[in-house]
Amino acid sequence: MKTDIFSPLNCALCKYNICYNELPFCAECIGELQRLLISPCRKCGKLPSLCECGGNSGLRFAFFYKGRTAQKLIYAHKTKADSRVADFLAELVVRSSGINPKSYDAVAFVPRLRRNKRRYGYDQSELLAKSLSRLYGIELIYPLERVGGSEQKLLGRAERYKNMKNRFKIREDFDTEVKYNKILLVDDVCTTGATITACADILRGNIARGVVPFVIAKTD
Spatial strand order in the sheet of 180-190: 63-64, 208-218, 180-190, 106-109, 139-140
93-118: burial string, b at 16+ Cβ within 10 Å, e else: bbebbeeebeebbbbbbbbbbeeeee
What pTM was computed for the model? 0.87
Pairing relationship of beta strands 208-218 and 180-190 according to DSSP bridges: parallel
How confident is the model over 7-61, as pLDDT tens digits?
568 899 998 888 877 889 999 999 999 999 999 998 899 988 888 876 655 899 9
- List Cβ neighbours of 181 (8 Å cut-off, separation of 6 or more): 105, 208, 209, 210
Domain at 55-218: CATH code: 3.40.50
How confident is the model over 105-164, as pLDDT tens digits?
999 999 999 999 999 999 999 999 999 999 999 999 999 999 875 555 555 555 655 666
How confident is the model over 161-212, as pLDDT tens digits?
566 667 899 999 999 999 999 999 999 999 888 899 999 999 998 999 999 9
